Amino acid sequence: MSGPDDLLVDVTGLAAELASAEPPTLLDVRWRLVGPPGRADYHAGHLPGAVFVDLDTELCGPPGAGGRHPLPDPAVLQRVLRAAGVRTGHPVVTYDGGDGMAAARAWWTLRWAGHHRVRVLDGGFPAWVGAGQPLSTEPADPQPGDLTVRPGGMPALDAGQAARVAAEGVLVDVRTAPRYRGETEPVDPVAGHIPGAVNLPAAEYVGADGRLPAADLLRERFAGAGVRPGVPVAAYCGSGVTAAQAVLALHRAGYPDAALYVGSWSDWLTDPARPVATTDPGPDSERDPDPGSGSDPGSGSGSDRP
């Protein structure tokens, strides 16, 4: 089990570790929902020794029936991580462009793959640059790793399991309120949310700089959404990236069993028989005993966060 102190590393701590005899494996996962891939950013300047890994094509499977960012094929992921130098039992640090989402999804993916010695650089690339730390433009050439991917290290939900959590526990939708309420949907074809899910937009528990607040503040904010000890909790978003950051925040808040609905809304909509809700039940309302109740998917306006 991880605690709040082994989820994140700050710039000072990482710089000291990189200067040590046994530096962690460093993964650059800079990524944009819309725009050019992060590889160009990597070549323009990255943390010394970092290896670039592409979120869309290497840490996730191809978009399709499982959503826009489904689970990767374990064999493919193993090849990617070994090529990046990930070794069994050796620590890994992930970083992104500063919002913390891609780094958190990489953190979650490695833990799901059975590698639990992984942390996120707090504040990401901007924090490193802001502290005056050095950069490199030389691509890393790591020694091949030996990690064996063993899926199941983190709880990953499918649509039916997410619906059950919404009915019996707390399923947190971390998209913006207008998307949750069905007022707008800039990415997916239908607006709304999974019936029974409660809304806690990511901006309410993540700083504008992508940093997570202290554990006690996170517990307070998740409690406002109905999260409490002994009750199943899971998170979803548009495609499982922002929600991975929510799982990281839930771990920091003391909920190490928090689950991720990996396919999230983009997977939910692949079956037109799945219901779509557009009303807000609130965290204290009674749970719908039938997770299949709700309105049928229809046309919606068509992210600020994936």
- DSSP string for 193-210: B-TT-EE--GGGTS-TTS
Q: What kind and span of H or E run contains 119?
A: strand 118-121
Active site residue 237: yes
- Which of the residues 171, 200, 237, 246 is marked catalytic? 237
Angle at 3 between CA 96 and CA 13, to 5 degrees: 50
With beta carbons less than 8 A apart as the criterion, state whether 69 and 75 touch. Answer: no
The total of other beta-carbon atoms located within 10 Å of residue 123's CB is 21
Provide the token pair at 253. Answer: 């808040």
The torsion region of residue 24 among left (phi > 0), alpha (psi -120 to 50) and beta comes to beta
State the alpha helices, DSSP H only, in 131-174: 159-168
With beta carbons less than 8 A apart as the criterion, state whether 272 and 299 touch. Answer: no
| Secondary structure letter of residue 4 according to DSSP | G
Q: Which residue has the tokens 């005056």?
A: 132
In angstroms, the Cα distances linking 119 to 92, 104, 227, 265 are 6, 9, 24, 27
Question: Which amino acids are annotated catalytic?
Answer: 237
